Chain A
Amino acid sequence: MQHPFEVKNLKKTFGTKNHQTQALKGVSFQMDEGEVFGLLGPNGAGKTTLISILTGLEQATEGQAFIFGEDVSKGLQSTKSQVGIVPQELVNHGFFSINEVLGFHSGYYGIKKNQEYIDYLLGKLGLLPHKGKKVRELSGGMKRRFLIAKALVHKPKLLMLDEPTAGVDIELRNSLWEFVEELNKNGTSVLLTTHYLEEAEKLCHRVGIIHQGELKAVGKTSTLIKDLTQREVLIYFKEATKIESIYLKKQTENMMAFQIPSHMELGELMAKLKLDLTKVIDVKIREGRLEDAFLSILGDKTKNGNTK
Chain B
Amino acid sequence: MRPQDNIKRELNLTPFQALFKKEIMRFWKVVGQTVFTPLVNASLYLLIFGVSLGKSITLSSGISYLAFLIPGLVTMATLNNAFQNTSSSILGSKFHGDIIDLKVVPLTLNQIVSAFSLGAIVRGLTVGAITFMVSEVFYFVTMGEFLSIAHPFQLLFYLTVGGVTFGLLGVIVGFWARNFEQVNAIGGFVLLPLIYLGGVFYSLENLHPFWQKISQMNPLLYFVNGVRYSILNHSDVPAEKAMMISLISVVVLYFLARRSIQKGSFQKW
| A contact residues vs B (CB 8 Å cutoff) | 55-57, 77-78, 80-83, 85, 87, 89-96, 100-101, 103-112, 117, 120, 154-157, 186-188
Contacts and interface: CB of A to CB of B under 8 A. Distances in A.
Contacts of B266: 57
A146 B30 CA distance: 24
B178 interface: no
Given A91-B98, A108-B19, A186-B3, 16 more contacts: A55-B103, A56-B104, A77-B108, A80-B104, A82-B4, A83-B104, A91-B268, A94-B93, A95-B26, A95-B29, A107-B15, A109-B15, A154-B7, A155-B1, A187-B2, A187-B3
Contacts, number: 108
B98 to A, nearest CB: 5
13 contacts: A92-B98, A94-B26, A95-B29, A96-B25, A104-B19, A107-B18, A108-B15, A108-B18, A108-B19, A108-B106, A109-B105, A111-B7, A156-B3
Interface residues of B, number: 36
B57 interface: no
B107 A108 contact: yes
Contacts of A107: 14-15, 17-19, 21
B97 A90 contact: yes
A89 B92 contact: no
Q: Which of B9, B14, B106 lies at the interface centre, i.e. has the most chain A CB atoms within 10 A of its CB?
A: B106
A81 B100 CA distance: 15
B48 interface: no
Contacts of B1: 117, 120, 155, 186
A103 B22 CA distance: 10
Contacts of A155: 1-5, 7
Contacts of B108: 77
A57 B97 CA distance: 13
Contacts of B97: 89-92
A186 B2 contact: yes
B11 interface: yes
Nearest to A158: B3
Contact of B25 (A85, A87, A100): A100
Contacts of B208: none
A94 B96 contact: yes
A31 to B, nearest CB: 15
Nearest to A56: B103
A89 B22 CA distance: 23
A110 B4 contact: no
B96 A91 contact: yes
Contacts of B145: none
A14 to B, nearest CB: 12
The 5 closest A-B pairs by CB, nearest first: A107-B18, A91-B97, A110-B9, A77-B106, A108-B105
A85 B3 contact: no
Contacts of B11: 77, 81, 110
Given A57-B104, A77-B11, A77-B108, A89 B96 contact: no
Given A77-B11, A110-B11, A154-B7, A87 B100 contact: yes
A83 B3 CA distance: 10
Nearest to B107: A108
A103 to B, nearest CB: 8
Contact of B9 (A89, A111, A186, A188): A111
A50 to B, nearest CB: 15
B56 to A, nearest CB: 45
Contacts of B92: 94
Given A56-B104, A92-B98, A157 B18 contact: no
Q: Which of B17, B105, B108 has the most CB of A within 10 A?
A: B105
Nearest to B20: A107
A85 B107 CA distance: 15
Contacts of A56: 103-104
Nearest to A117: B1
Contact of B3 (A78, A90, A110, A157): A157
Given A100-B25, A110-B10, A155-B1, A81 B15 contact: no
